[in-house]
Chain A
Amino acid sequence: MLESVWLIPLLPLAGAIALGLFGRQWRQRVVSALGVGSVGLTFAAALGVAYEFFQQDPGSFPRVQRYFHWIAAGDFAVPLTFYVDQLSILMVLVVTGVGFLIHLYSIGYMAQEGGYYRFFTYLNLFMFFMLLLVLAGNYLVLFVGWEGVGLCSYLLIGFYFLRDSASAAGKKAFLVNRIGDFGFTLALLLLFATFGTLDFAQIFQGVGDRPTETFNQVGVLTGISLLLLCGAVGKSAQVPLYVWLPDAMEGPTPVSALIHAATMVAAGVYMVARFHVLFSAAPVALAVVATIGCITAFYAATIGLVQTDIKRVLAYSTVSQLGYMFLGLGVGAFAAGIFHLVTHAFFKALLFLAAGSVIHALHGAQDIRTMGGLRKKIPATYWTFLFGTLAIVGFPGFSGFFSKDEILWQTFVSPYGSKVLWFIGVFAGGLTSFYMFRLLLLTFHGDSRYTPVVAERVHESPRVMTRPLMALALLSLAGGWIGIPAALGGKNYLEHFLAPVFATSRMRMGTAGVPHTPTEELELMALAVGLALAGFGAAYWMYLRRPTLANELAQTFHGPYQLLLNKYYVDELYQKYIVRPLDWLADRILWQAVDVEVIDGAVNGLGFQARAAGDWLRRWQSGNTRSYAAWVVLGALLLVTVLVWVMR
């Protein structure tokens, strides 16, 4: 099975091609079967690979499966290789598992929408690229996957392309990603220049031979790491390239769940973890990672406090949680960052799908101010949403609790962490609790604020939608149990599972054996939980007991409230200081001056010259015999002149 790891990305690709070419003619049932079936088979294949993995000696990994020569141009040779180790197997399982559930859900959610086959085509294509990204064995294959998921994101965000806002959002996502990808491309060039290859195994070897760069001695490794980080910042929506993610909510909800919560945005996190060897040799870059992550976690949480669209709140929450993952990576806790990636995939996908269920129930309403009291009407949705909320705020026992705590603890104690970062992270956790419970209470509790017309038609979603919700809810609860820390009496399976992957870095960084003072860890845990409860309490007070309090506060603190509501006006700032000048440059200078005058001028000028010359020469061919005779004589004279004077 391991040799057939190529099946994993190939099955969804086959599905995408089949659906793309023929889907239009098939009935919905066939499309559903093919679209979901391909992913189901992939998940089965992933399980097969994982099973075989466990049969074998962990020390024999990482294994590189080489398939064929893709590029062979002189010194530059890039084969198609897959890199199989604990990390990639974990990622594959998460991507295919969660992806499968979301595909199932989509059967119900997209049933009435137009373009059903197109949806599944793009979704399958996305799975292909994502799996390619995760399994890649060299930078170029990874880059193909990287760009491919960006492409599919664009296609899926702009799925309802007849809506202006949707296609604009798709373009925005693609362009902002491109900015990050530019950094990534520069990193690729630097990597090749420095190591002469793009292969992971060879590069990791090469980095191992080099000394660690320090704050005073910044070198090429730091440069490469920072450039790779650019790409990650774009893809994983960190500050300052996060602006595309909230707009991406224009896409159908399953898309938001799969791409913009569970998988694609996690690609940046995966990438940093995969290249831990590089980053750990460049502490400057790591510090930047941690700082960006921390700032993003806090920043996005503040915006999420006041948003009114159910999906927007979740979008900012995603940005914030991704910040946590980067924070974990940045302090050297690579396993913790990945752990949070996994749990986040579970509970964020769940939250989005549940939100989709709410939207489905209310026939398209997304504004939480028009919701309320849905608890009894759509109980399955409510309970699963509750599970997701408990997971994300870090309620003890749920998956998010373990992963987030691990990150915060590592931030506190790691030699690469800092108390300041920890403090901001913990505080952001409190904010997370507040806005999530706000969302829950406003949507499901209290009085119904929707119109009676809608009230008549509120109904629970079909089983094909609620079953995946329940599966994800279960994972949101139990998924964290693979990482119960020693302080609480667990064995932290995940950390040990991933340890061989990150071993070299941990040795270089000296974080291999961080002293665990159990009491310290428990104290911090208690503090975090306490903040979470405080957040719940505040939300409960504000939105259930005293509903008018919210508006009063908004009036009193009018300035800050407007600032948060308008997302710190970042979009407007970008528009004014970046987009408009570039647009002007492109239009006035590159278009009108260079393209029209220089290039067109040159080409047209050539044509014009040819025509003018032809016009001028034409007159010579007068048809007038006598003038022809005269020219003949002239020619004769020239010849004689040459004979006389030149060729003495």
Chain B
Amino acid sequence: MSASYWLFFIFAGLAVLGAFNLIWQRHPIHSALSLILVMGSLAVLYLLLGAEFIAAVQVIVYAGAIMVLFVFVIMLLNVGEEERTQWSRVATYLGLPVAVLLVVQTGYLLYRAVPMAIRVDPNRFVGTTRRVGELLFTDFLLPFEVTSILILVALMGAIVLAKREP
């Protein structure tokens, strides 16, 4: 039982716990913090899968920028805990079983997709920054440039939407 074995289960468990907590908590700030925990755990799991660059990006961008934005907004709006109001009947009685079914089926699908024998060795296939960069600037150049425009548009959109009217 190597280190990667235990690491997987620890951080997978943390991820699941974090996700569960996200749903469970009433105050959004707690949910946000749980989500950060999930992201961090996922970053470790990426490392276990050999995706160095992605793990770093996950921590820097996702957990470090996006979630910070979330926390800012939550604190800005300062809504407080969620009220207890009526549940949507459709959402509960239709949605919940469906979601469960979805999970089960997807899990089954994914489980069966791959033979059990294949095991993860973090050293076998490593997504180094160099290699990812190479691909980004050659095969995936166009999407890369397009995303820059996308960010620009989102930037302008956010500013236009959120600014206060004078």
Contact = CB atoms under 8 A, between A and B. Distances in A.
A633 B90 contact: no
B149 interface: no
A644 interface: yes
Contacts of B105: 637, 640-641, 644
Quick one: which of A624, A629, A634, A641 has the most chain B CB within 10 A?
A634
B24 interface: no
- Chain B interface size, as a band, is 10 to 19
A644 B109 contact: yes
Contact of B98 (A626, A637, A643, A644): A637
Interface string A628-645: 011001101100110110
Contacts of A626: 88, 90-91
Nearest to A640: B105
B94 to A, nearest CB: 5
A622 to B, nearest CB: 9
A636 B105 CA distance: 11
Nearest to A627: B90
Interface in B54-103: 88, 90-91, 94-95, 98-99, 101-102
Nearest to B99: A633
Interface string A362-390: 00000000000000000000000000000
Contacts of A644: 105, 108-109
A634 B95 CA distance: 7
Contacts of A636: 102
A629 B102 CA distance: 14
B129 interface: no
B97 to A, nearest CB: 10
Given A624-B88, A636-B102, A637-B101, A630 B95 contact: yes
A634 B108 contact: no
Given A630-B98, A633-B99, A634-B94, A643 B109 contact: yes
B106 interface: yes
B98 A634 contact: yes
Quick one: which of A630, A634, A640, A641 has the most chain B CB within 10 A?
A630
Contacts of A641: 105
A636 B101 CA distance: 11
A215 to B, nearest CB: 86
Interface residues of A, number: 13
Contacts, number: 38
B91 A630 contact: yes
Given A636-B102, A640-B102, A629 B109 contact: no
Contacts of A640: 102, 105-106, 109
Contacts of A643: 109
Contacts of B94: 627, 630, 634
A636 B90 CA distance: 16
A629 B101 contact: no
Contacts of A624: 88, 90
A586 to B, nearest CB: 55
Interface in A596-648: 624, 626-627, 629-630, 633-634, 636-637, 640-641, 643-644
B90 A630 contact: yes
Nearest to B112: A644
Contact of A633 (B88, B98, B108, B109): B98
Contacts of A627: 88, 90-91, 94
Contacts of B88: 624, 626-627, 630
Contact of A629 (B91, B106, B108): B91
Contacts of B99: 633
A217 B99 CA distance: 87
A629 B98 CA distance: 12
A60 to B, nearest CB: 91
A610 to B, nearest CB: 26
Contacts of B95: 629-630, 633-634
A458 B106 CA distance: 111
Contacts of B108: 644
A637 B98 CA distance: 7
Interface in A102-119: none
B111 to A, nearest CB: 11
B113 to A, nearest CB: 10
Contacts of B101: 637
A637 B91 contact: no
Contacts of B109: 640, 643-644
A380 to B, nearest CB: 100
A59 B95 CA distance: 99
A643 to B, nearest CB: 6
Contacts of A629: 91, 95
A648 to B, nearest CB: 10
Nearest to B105: A640
Contacts of A637: 98, 101-102, 105
A72 B99 CA distance: 70
A302 B37 CA distance: 119
A636 B94 CA distance: 13
Contacts of B102: 633, 636-637, 640
Nearest to A632: B95
A309 to B, nearest CB: 85
A644 B104 CA distance: 11
A627 B98 CA distance: 13
Nearest to A625: B88
A474 to B, nearest CB: 101
Nearest to B100: A637
Contacts of A630: 88, 90-91, 94-95, 98
A637 B88 CA distance: 20
A627 B91 CA distance: 6
Interface string A33-56: 000000000000000000000000
A621 to B, nearest CB: 13
A628 to B, nearest CB: 9
A626 B94 CA distance: 11
A644 B107 CA distance: 10
A624 B108 CA distance: 32
Interface string A159-171: 0000000000000
A617 to B, nearest CB: 16
A644 B110 CA distance: 9
A633 B95 CA distance: 7
A567 B106 CA distance: 94
A232 to B, nearest CB: 78
B26 to A, nearest CB: 18
A431 B138 CA distance: 118
A634 to B, nearest CB: 5
Smallest CB-CB A-B distances: 4 pairs? A630-B95, A626-B88, A627-B90, A626-B91
Given A626-B91, A630-B94, A644-B105, 13 more contacts: A624-B90, A626-B88, A627-B90, A627-B91, A629-B91, A630-B95, A633-B99, A634-B98, A637-B101, A637-B105, A640-B102, A640-B106, A640-B109
28 contacts: A624-B88, A624-B90, A626-B88, A626-B90, A626-B91, A627-B88, A627-B90, A627-B91, A629-B91, A629-B95, A630-B88, A630-B90, A630-B91, A630-B94, A630-B95, A633-B95, A633-B99, A633-B102, A634-B98, A637-B101, A637-B102, A637-B105, A640-B102, A640-B106, A641-B105, A643-B109, A644-B105, A644-B109
